[in-house]
Amino acid sequence: MNKVTTPKSFRVKSFGCQMNVYDGERMAELLGAQGMEAAGEGENADLVVLNTCHIREKAAEKVYSDIGRIVKDWDDDDGSSPLIAVAGCVAQAEGEEIMKRAKDVRMVVGPQAYHRLPEMIGRASAGERVTDTDMPAEAKFGALPARRKRAPSAFLTVQEGCDKFCTYCVVPYTRGAEISRPYGDLIDEAQKLVEQGAREITLLGQNVNAWTGEDAKGRAIGLDGLIRELAKLPDLARIRYTTSHPNDMTDALIAAHGEVEKLMPYLHLPVQAGSDPILAAMNRSHTAESYIRLIERVREARPDIAISGDFIVGFPGETDADFEATLQMVDTIRYAAAFSFKYSPRPGTPAATMGDQIAGDVMDERLQRLQAAITRDQLAFNQASVGKTCQVLVERKGRREGQWLGKTPWLQSAHFTGDYAVGDLVDVELLEAGPNSLSARVC
Ligand code: 5AD
Ligand code: SF4
């Protein structure tokens, strides 16, 4: 076995959802607080953390090819080797398998245990191979250093885990049971993010709208209460939240969409399928009809709201008629944006062993038709925005000289020219629409 160096530089590479992006940022802050430097673009890092996603098969396979690439690129003239850590949901679900299959991996750390990375790195540097996939409920966030993120748009994880057990999904197994972070901690973290320049905060959770807590006076509150409190931070301009489950969409949260000006008019509310027998087999515990009614109520509270969703095609047993019902759902809701995936059997989930798994070519064809319908509606939504005036939060420079890119309240990408800086809120008129972005003119 090669000598392992004590790491001086690190890289954290995150795959998958926004919660992983958040975890990746916090791991980077933790490693920085230990005195390690983030490796620059194209530079080798002594320590590489692959923060993995297990939601679909391809995501897990990518991890193994990445490990191979890191080892190949490493300059081992001095007999050293890189410290590779696999973190995230693949680590949680397949920790032992990874250690067996990828001998170059020195650490496996689950999503609830990454606050212990410094100690693990010490042991791994001494030659040990270390696995920590414990799920200690509250420990992690309290043990992490304070936020150091400087960006106009920041993530804040308020809730983790899931008790819903949709039959296709690994999250209840990899992320564990639903846990809400305490109110006071969240207000503190939000304040720090705002002090460091955040104008927008997106509250994250696998089931974010199931968040519950107690406010400063000890009263029980839900996500709407947290949002109303965050809205009082003077320099915070925008609040978003994702991802929600239809059954946790309370009346109070719906009302907040009509009443809290800083809550942006955008709701990501996955439906997954449009057919009741498939929704039942998925254990979604809502029907197509109840979802449609829910969206109607949200639109009553906030008529201009952009609705986005997630879909799975080719769930076991999905007939042509079931799939037509999904297309019908898209026609009814008219999504401003939506993500669609081919069903991927996840080991250990109930759906993986269901009969009547759908053939790959059938899934391909269904996915294409669904995506065409979604793109059509996305373009229509953007076209309907043309002529509107709104604020855009400037996020980064565009490709052309003087061009800036930012997000509208409806989470559309807009580009415009002018003399601005990242973090500015600029009043624009939306001019021309494509399926993925709009051009704008400063008012
Ligand atoms: N196969 C395909 N898509 C899945 N998703 C979750 N599990 C699976 C799976 N086994 C999708 C759902 C979810 C999104 C994050 O990923 O649509 O909302
Ligand atoms: Fe992937 Fe889900 Fe884990 Fe996020 S929570 S990393 S999407 S498996």
Lowest average pLDDT, out of 56-60, 319-323, 342-346, goes to 56-60
Pocket probe mutation, ligand 2, options 49, 50, 133, 175, max atoms within 8 Å of Cβ? 175
Cα–ligand 2 centroid distance for 169 (angstroms): 10
pLDDT for position 138? 61
pLDDT for position 88? 95
Lowest average pLDDT, out of 126-140, 258-272, 318-332, goes to 126-140
SS3 assignment, position 430: strand
pLDDT in tens, 103-120: 999 999 999 999 999 999
Query: Cα separation of 107 and 240, whole Å?
Result: 34
Helix pair angle (251-259, 288-301), 10° resolution: 30
pLDDT for residue 2 is more than 70: no
Q: Is 173 in the pocket of ligand 1 (CB under 6 A)?
A: no
Q: Which pLDDT band, with edges at 50, 70 and 90, does 1 fall under?
A: very low
437 closest CA partner among 401, 419, 412, 409: 412
pLDDT in tens, 170-202: 999 999 999 999 999 999 999 999 999 999 999
Mean pLDDT of the region 348-374: 97
Cα–ligand 1 centroid distance for 283 (angstroms): 13
Query: What ligand has the least distance to the C-alpha of 53?
Result: 2
Q: Is 245 in the pocket of ligand 1 (CB under 6 A)?
A: no
pLDDT for position 62? 87
pLDDT for position 167? 98
Q: Which pLDDT band, with edges at 50, 70 and 90, does 4 fall under?
A: low
Q: Which pLDDT band, with edges at 50, 70 and 90, does 56 fall under?
A: confident
Q: Which amino acid is at 197?
A: G
pLDDT for position 253? 98
Cα–ligand 1 centroid distance for 312 (angstroms): 6
Query: Cα separation of 312 and 169, whole Å?
Result: 11
Query: Cα separation of 372 and 327, whole Å?
Result: 10
Pocket probe mutation, ligand 1, options 90, 279, 310, 346, max atoms within 8 Å of Cβ? 310
Give the contacts of 40 (CB within 8 A, at least 6 positions apart): none
SS3 assignment, position 87: strand
Report residue 99 as tokens: 């250690």
Helix then strand count (H, E) for the chain reads 13, 23
* Closest atom of ligand 1 relative to the 342 alpha carbon: 2
Mean pLDDT of the region 199-214: 97
Query: What ligand has the least distance to the C-alpha of 270?
Result: 1
Query: Cα separation of 4 and 434, whole Å?
Result: 51
Pocket probe mutation, ligand 1, options 341, 342, 364, max atoms within 8 Å of Cβ? 341
Cα–ligand 2 centroid distance for 200 (angstroms): 23
Mean pLDDT, the chain, integer: 94
Pocket probe mutation, ligand 1, options 19, 54, 56, 315, max atoms within 8 Å of Cβ? 56
Specify the higher pLDDT residue, 269 or 62. Answer: 269
pLDDT for position 83? 95
Ligand 2 atom 1, closest CA: 53
pLDDT in tens, 65-96: 999 999 888 877 777 889 999 999 999 999 99
Query: What ligand has the least distance to the C-alpha of 309?
Result: 1
Ligand 2 environment, Cβ below 6 A: 16-17, 19-20, 53-55, 88-89, 170-171, 174-175, 206
Cα–ligand 1 centroid distance for 311 (angstroms): 8
Contact 154, 134 (CB under 8 A): no
pLDDT for position 148? 81
Q: Is 338 in the pocket of ligand 1 (CB under 6 A)?
A: no
Q: Is 56 in the pocket of ligand 1 (CB under 6 A)?
A: yes
SS3 assignment, position 437: strand
Q: Is the dihedral of CA 413, 418, 421, 424 positive or negative?
A: negative
Q: Which pLDDT band, with edges at 50, 70 and 90, does 137 fall under?
A: low
Ligand 2 atom 5, closest CA: 171
Query: Cα separation of 81 and 104, whole Å?
Result: 8
Mean pLDDT of the region 48-54: 95
pLDDT for residue 235 is more than 50: yes
Query: Cα separation of 18 and 37, whole Å?
Result: 24
Query: Cα separation of 236 and 230, whole Å?
Result: 8
pLDDT for position 136? 76
Q: How far is CA 366 from the centre of its chain?
A: 25
Mean pLDDT of the region 27-40: 95
Cα–ligand 2 centroid distance for 170 (angstroms): 8
Query: What ligand has the least distance to the C-alpha of 314?
Result: 1
Report residue 172 as tokens: 């209840």
pLDDT for residue 157 is more than 60: yes
Lowest average pLDDT, out of 72-81, 140-149, 191-200, 344-353, goes to 72-81
